[in-house]
Amino acid sequence: MGSKKRKFSTMQTRSDPAHSSPYDGNTKPQEESDHEEINPDDVCPICNLLVYRPVTTSCNHNFCQSCMAHWADVSFSAQMTHVDLDERRIVETISANDIETKCPMCRTQTVANVSQQLERYLKERYPKLYATRAEEEEALSKDITPDDSVEILTIYIGNEHRLIRTNESLSNNKHDWKFFVRPSRIDIIEEVQIFLHPTFRNPRIIVQYSPYEIRRLGWGYFTIVAHVILKAGYSWVSGEAEDAPDGGEKGMLPLQWTLDFNGRGAQGRYKVKVRRQKEGMDEEMRRQGERVRRIWTEQRRADPDWVEPDADGS
């Protein structure tokens, strides 16, 4: 997002049942007059102006596309959403034009989609006002400098699980679990530090290349802390981010996951922003590749709790 400034308001224009919106997808526009009175339900709750280039949320609220995008930008935080265990980062259900954030009206997690049908209605009902809004947005857009250095990463965190029965006594059963962190981009990840329960002989594991996961056998569940550390030249755009151990500003993102031993396991999804601070990182990343793999191979060999994957790769 750029540096566009908008005024945020707490005005609740949709709370009065007496002002129900005339828009139902089939409503014809009112006859044109010199004075175009705006129905309260056609006002954007963020800027308090006629909705321009409308988006409609999954919770059924309407906003200007630019207002909603700016709201998503300033209210962005690393909050986890529980998703199906089979969802993977290569299967995106949200298109590039959709906006995922918490709704400014009801505060529920929502997705805002462009509504072409509503836009046609607004253009027909308020031809003069909508044209004026277009001129205003065009003037504002000239002051916006796109920030191409910021992008959104998807991070899946969770565990797979398999119950191992040793005898009829449930107290002696063991759990075969695999904890994982799966970012949508691995080329900018320096390492993932995984902190297990202190009763493990090796409670701190450093995974320096994908897949970022560990597998163990145990009888009890606990909360795992994972520090996702970016390569030099990148930083997390999040209030939860911390400085990396090597001094990189906002280079470490702490995440937590409580093991789930119900059925096959579970996972959550984060949407987190990353800022690129330095160009020309590709060659440096390639040079580090072999060194990282050698270090990780040696660490795995020396880990007394390491469990090799099954023949099928699970």
- The string of pLDDT tens digits covering residues 15-49 is 333 334 545 555 444 444 457 889 999 999 999 99
Whether this model's pTM surpasses 0.85: no
Burial 278-305 (b: 16+ CB within 10 A, else e): eeebeeebeeeeeeeeeeeeeeeeeeee
Q: Which of 192-201, 232-241, 277-286, 290-299 has the lowest mean pLDDT?
A: 277-286
Helices 116-125, 127-141: axis angle to 10 degrees equals 120
Reported as a single tens digit per residue, the pLDDT across 158-196 is 999 999 876 665 556 789 999 999 999 999 999 999 999
What are 42-71's pLDDT values in tens digits? 999 999 999 999 999 999 999 999 898 878
Confidence grade of residue 139 (pLDDT, cut at 50, 70, 90):
confident
CB neighbourhood size of 97 (10 A): 10
| Residue with token string 């005024």 | 7
- Token digits for 160? 């797979």
E strands present in the chain = 54-57, 62-64, 81-83, 99-102, 109-114, 150-164, 174-183, 189-195, 204-207, 212-218, 223-230, 234-237, 252-258, 265-276
Domain residue extents for the chain: 17-141, 150-302
Torsion over CA: 66, 67, 71, 72 (sign): negative
Q: Which of 17-26, 135-144, 265-274 has the lowest mean pLDDT?
A: 17-26
Q: What is the pLDDT of residue 167?
A: 64
Examine residue 211 and say whether the peptide bond preceding it is cis (omega within 30 degrees of 0). Answer: yes
Q: Six-digit token pair at 109?
A: 């997690």
Q: Is the pLDDT confidence value at 146 over 50?
A: yes
284 pLDDT higher than 60: no
Concatenated DSSP letters of 12-45: -TT--GGG--S-SSSPPPPPP-SS-PPPGGGB-T
Q: Which CATH class is domain 150-302?
A: mainly beta
Fold of 17-141: Herpes Virus-1 (3.30.40)
